[in-house]
Amino acid sequence: MRGRPLLFTSYEADSALLPSVSKKVAMTVLLLVAFTLPLQLIPGIKWLGSNPWLVVLGQALIFAISALGLNILTGLAGQVSLGHAFFMATGAYTAAILGGETGRGVIGLGLPIWIWLPAAGIVAALVGILVAPTAVRVRGLYLAFVTIALVFIGDHIFRNVRVVSGGPGVGRTWPALEVRLWKEEEPMLAVSSDGTWFGIEFSRQAKQYIFLLALLIVFALFHKNIARTRLGRAFAAVRDRDIAAEVMGVDEVRYKALAFALSSFFAGAAGALLASFFGSRTPESWDLVLSVTFIAIILIGGAGTTAGAIMGAFFVVMVPRLVENFSRLLSDRTGDEGVLASIANFILKTGTTDFGLIGTSVIGPGLSTFQLNLLLYGLLIVLFLIFEPLGLFGIWLRIRNYWKGWPFSY
Which residue ranges make up the site for other proteins (CB under 8 A)?
A: 80, 134, 137-142, 144-146, 148-149, 152-153, 156-157, 159-161, 241-244, 247, 288, 292, 295-296, 299, 363, 366-367, 371, 374-375, 377-382, 385-386, 389
- 98 vs 151, beta carbon nearer other proteins: 151
Nearest approach, Cβ of residue 308 and other proteins (Å) = 15
Smallest separation, CB 78 to other proteins (Å): 8
**Element of type H or E holding 103:** none
Short-list 106, 91, 86, CA closest to 171: 106
Nearer of residues 107 and 379 to other proteins, judged by Cβ: 379
Query: Closest approach of Cβ 170 to other proteins, in Å?
Result: 14
- CA dist 351 to 334, 337, 358, 365, Å? 12, 18, 11, 9
Query: Min. distance of Cβ 374 from other proteins in angstroms?
Result: 4
In angstroms, give the least distance from the CB of 296 to other proteins.
Answer: 8
Exposure b/e, 175-193, CB count within 10 A at least 16 = b: bbbbebeeeeeebeebbbe
At closest approach, how far in Å is the CB of 402 from other proteins?
A: 25
Q: Of the two residues 18 and 244, which places its CB atom closer to other proteins in the complex? A: 244
In whole angstroms, how close is the CB of 157 to other proteins at the nearest point?
7
Half-sphere exposure of 383 (CA within 13 A, CB side): 7
Residue whose C-alpha is closest to residue 279's, from 101, 90, 60 = 101
Smallest separation (angstroms) from other proteins to the CB of 292: 6
Query: What is the distance of C-alpha 73 from the center of its chain?
Result: 14
- 276 burial level (CB within 10 Å; 0-12, 13-18, 19+): buried
Alpha helix positions (H), 279-390: 288-301, 306-333, 339-347, 369-387
Shortest spacing between CB 394 and other proteins, in angstroms: 13
In the complex with other proteins, the residue whose CB is nearer, 218 or 244, is 244
Nearer to other proteins among residue 82 and residue 310 (C-beta): 82
Compare residues 147 and 276 and give the one whose CB is closer to other proteins.
147
Integer Cα distance of 114 and 108 in angstroms: 15
**Cβ atoms within 10 A of the Cβ of 311, count?**
22
Of 101 and 252, which has the nearer Cβ to other proteins?
252
CB of 354 to other proteins, least distance (A): 16
CB contact at 8 A, 83 and 147: yes
Do 153 and 265 touch, CB atoms closer than 8 A? no
User: Residue 127 burial (CB < 10 Å; 0-12/13-18/19+)?
Assistant: buried
Q: In terms of CB distance, is 123 or 372 closer to other proteins?
A: 372
What radius of gyration do the chain's Cα atoms show?
Answer: 23
Q: Which long-range contacts (CB under 8 A, 24 or more apart) does 232-241 make?
A: 232/76, 235/72, 235/76, 235/77, 235/78, 235/259, 236/76, 236/77, 238/77, 238/78, 239/76, 239/77, 239/78, 239/79, 240/78
Nearest Cα neighbor of 395 from 308, 319, 333 is 308
Q: Which is nearer to other proteins, 179 or 380 (CB)?
A: 380
Distance CA 29, CA 157 (A): 46
